[in-house]
Amino acid sequence: MWLMKNNLEFFNYYKGSHVKYRDRIENRKYRIENALRDLRTLGLIRIGGTGKARKVNTDIDMYEYTKGGQLCAWLIKSLDDKQRQNANKEIYDLLLNVFKSRKDSSSITISRFFERCKDKRIFDKLVEYLRYLIQLDHDYEFKSMTDLLVYIFDSGFRDSQEQMNFLTVWYDLIQVLEPEIQNMMLYRMKLSIERMFENMHDLTKEYEEFRFKLRGNYQTIALEAYCKKCKVRRNVALHYLNYVKRFILDAKNEIRVKCPICNTKDSIIIPYLF
């Protein structure tokens, strides 16, 4: 009944019609059931229990938001200028509640990142970027909130200054993490960047062997790029924090390094992958 009065699709469909509300609901029943099924498949809602129907003696499913569904709902509300401030506050409280309740290194780091963004008064910008990222037509598949948050450091940000602000907060945070958490986060970011690199390039046997030798070095990223001097591809090892710092300082979408073989300065150009 609420959908018949408030959903634009149904409202416009029956606008000016004299069809009774009970018949409208029956006519659109399968459309609504299919939409609920899609929302469950997406993990945005779930069955939270059953309740008694109002007019017949039967039990019906009662739906509730998942945490992801709550986030999407608040992100949608934040599109409205009048609701944005309250929606952003709810998003902050929701994300902090979700990640602070977990004990893995990623969740601990991400919750502290939110807190620092809030302290630096850039959390509202972070919400803006979350809205931007989930609307992008890209091939990256977000399987969790962690995936989405890792992706905010992608070099495709629309505003380089905002990207620098986020990366600076991230860089400062990583450096002050407890050693055990820092090590696990560095390892996670190493794997993430190397995985992105692998998806973007045809790997050579030499690179695979190079990366394998660095498998135990959790701080160092194994990359491969073309040397302008040698005219061949060379393997490069970069410390993750140095990788981030150089990007912050250079504010470019690439990093230039010395070739480990010919020693020519800035002869190897590597795109940032974050």
Query: Same domain, yes or no, for 155 and 238?
Result: no
What pLDDT, on a 0 to 100 scale, did the predictor assign at position 54?
Answer: 80
N-terminal to C-terminal alpha carbon distance within the chain: 47
What pLDDT, on a 0 to 100 scale, did the predictor assign at position 141?
Answer: 63
For the sheet with 220-227, list strands across it.
Answer: 232-239, 220-227, 268-271, 254-257
What pLDDT, on a 0 to 100 scale, did the predictor assign at position 213?
Answer: 94
Tell me if 50 sits within 8 A of 62, measured CB to CB. Answer: yes
pLDDT band at 255 (very low <50, low <70, confident <90, very high): confident
Distance CA 171, CA 156 (A): 18
Q: Is 182 inside any structural domain?
A: no
Distance CA 44, CA 84 (A): 21
Q: Identify the domain containing residue 39 by its residue range.
A: 2-65
Query: Same domain, yes or no, for 73 and 171?
Result: yes
Query: Same domain, yes or no, for 47 and 96?
Result: no
Average pLDDT value for residue range 103-127 = 92
Domain boundary among 65, 83, 118: 65
201-217 pLDDT, tens digit each? 788 899 999 999 999 99
Distance CA 259, CA 267 (A): 6
Residue 130 exposed, middle or buried by CB count within 10 Å (0-12, 13-18, 19+) = buried
Q: How many domains does the chain have?
A: 3
Query: Same domain, yes or no, for 97 and 146?
Result: yes
What pLDDT, on a 0 to 100 scale, did the predictor assign at position 271?
Answer: 75
Query: Same domain, yes or no, for 71 and 130?
Result: yes
Query: Same domain, yes or no, for 103 and 199?
Result: no
Q: Is 133 inside any structural domain?
A: yes
Distance CA 105, CA 185 (A): 6
Tell me if 245 sits within 8 A of 256, measured CB to CB. Answer: no
DSSP assignments along 171-199, one per residue = HHHHHHS-HHHHHHHHHHHHHHHHHHHHH
Query: Same domain, yes or no, for 92 and 193?
Result: no
170-202 pLDDT, tens digit each? 999 999 999 999 999 999 889 888 888 888 778
Query: Same domain, yes or no, for 237 and 261?
Result: yes
What pLDDT, on a 0 to 100 scale, did the predictor assign at position 38?
Answer: 93
pLDDT band at 156 (very low <50, low <70, confident <90, very high): very low
Rg (the chain; Cα; Å):
24
Query: Same domain, yes or no, for 166 and 196?
Result: no
Query: Same domain, yes or no, for 77 and 172?
Result: yes
Average pLDDT value for residue range 59-67 = 91
What is the overall mean pLDDT for the chain? 86
Indicate whether 119 pLDDT > 90. yes
Query: Same domain, yes or no, for 89 and 61?
Result: no
Tokens encoding 141: 């598949």
Indicate whether 51 pLDDT > 80. yes
